[in-house]
Amino acid sequence: MIEVRDVKKIYKTAEIETHALRGVSFTIHDGEFVAIMGPSGSGKSTLMHILGALDTPTSGTYLLDNHDVSHFSDDELADIRKNKIGFVFQSFNLLPRATVLRNCMLPLMYAGIHAEEREKSAREALKSAGLEESHFFHRSNQLSGGQIQRVAIARALVNNPSLILADEPTGNLDTKTGEIVLGTFQRLNKEKGRTIILITHETDVAEHAERIIHIRDGLIVEDKKSHNRRIAHHHV
């Protein structure tokens, strides 16, 4: 599914070269739940941008579903983002006065999907993300933080992507609510077989994944199964 081979990323200005990634290699198979963990400045955000087709490496290869994304044009990268990747960010990026259902349908509107099909897919995604139907016509500014993040997860699911990329998805949530959201990712992975990559700097968040890739100073320093895997509770 994902193969990263000797990926390097160098940012250049007139005076300085910054080596954000110094030769990173790993494989992630379909249906894995992997956390990429590292402190600020470790290179994990740069790696997230490359995995999310938001940027390309200076050198090395990134294969997603057998497509070599490393040398794609901006238009080709946009297609990959639209069709193959669902993003969940720390900031929820929802329209505050639009309903939950409309927020979830937005990616399908951009993709030109028929209205009836949009609503059906959005309802299915919201149910998969664990949101109760009674909330579908609430505005997003009427929901709790955990419910809003579930809507954001549903919006990431609605295009049926092959990869869900979650960047610090519990960063704006209290611990209890964060556990609920992490439980949603675990359930999507276990019951629905979704491939999930979770970017975090927190050990207790990373331990909800099945595998943890530690990155530091632009290099992978450890890649191991998560033996202490924490099972989160799914209650709202």
In a domain, 170, yes or no: yes
Nearest-10 crossing angle of helices 145-157, 100-110: 30
Q: How many structural domains does the chain have? A: 1
Predicted confidence band of residue 109 (pLDDT cuts 50, 70, 90): confident
Mean pLDDT of 111-122: 91
Classify residue 37: in a domain, yes or no: yes
Give the domain extent around 127. Answer: 30-45+85-225
Residue 196 forms part of a structural domain: yes
Q: Is residue 236 part of a domain?
A: no
* Residue 234 in this model has a pLDDT that exceeds 90: no
Whether residue 23 is contained in a domain is answered as: no
Side by side, the strands of the sheet bearing 17-28 are 17-28, 2-12, 59-64, 67-68
Complete DSSP assignment for 39-75: -TTSSHHHHHHHHTTSS--SEEEEEETTEEGGG--HH
- Name the pTM for this structure: 0.91
Question: What CATH number corresponds to the domain at position 95?
Answer: 3.40.50.300
| Contacts of 197 by beta carbon, 8 Å cutoff, 6+ apart | 28, 34, 35, 36, 48, 51, 163, 164, 165, 166
Q: Is residue 164 part of a domain?
A: yes
pLDDT digit string, tens, across residues 8-61:
999 998 889 999 999 999 999 999 999 999 999 999 999 999 999 999 999 999
